[in-house]
Amino acid sequence: MIIIKVKEGESIDRALRRYKKKFERTGILKEKRARMYYRKPSEKRKEEQKKAVNRQKHYARENY
């Protein structure tokens, strides 16, 4: 359970923004979406490899 203490004089909008950030960092929603359907381990590996390749390409572009 995520608990956010609203500080004195703090607006509700700001507290809500802090709550959203904290919720996103926990990864609950991301995990829920991943568990909605079964993916074979080989599919997971292939997707991770594609992500790694894209990251390498991105970093290579930045350095040159």
Q: What is the pLDDT of residues 11-49, one digit of tens each?
A: 999 999 999 999 999 999 999 999 999 999 999 999 999
Asked if residue 35 belongs to a domain, the reply is yes
9 secondary structure, DSSP code: T
Residue 22 structural domain: 12-63
The number of distinct structural domains making up the chain is: 1
Asked if residue 57 belongs to a domain, the reply is yes
The rounded distance, in Å, linking the Cα atoms of 52 and 57 is 9
Asked if residue 5 belongs to a domain, the reply is no
Predicted confidence band of residue 2 (pLDDT cuts 50, 70, 90): confident
pLDDT of residue 17: 95
Q: Which residues of 22-44 are buried (b: 16+ CB within 10 A; e: fewer)?
A: eeeeeeeeeeeeeeeeeeeeeee
Predicted confidence band of residue 64 (pLDDT cuts 50, 70, 90): confident
The reported pTM is 0.57
Asked if residue 54 belongs to a domain, the reply is yes
Is 34 in contact with 54 (CB distance < 8 Å)? no
Asked if residue 46 belongs to a domain, the reply is yes
Is 28 in contact with 4 (CB distance < 8 Å)? no
pLDDT of residue 15: 94
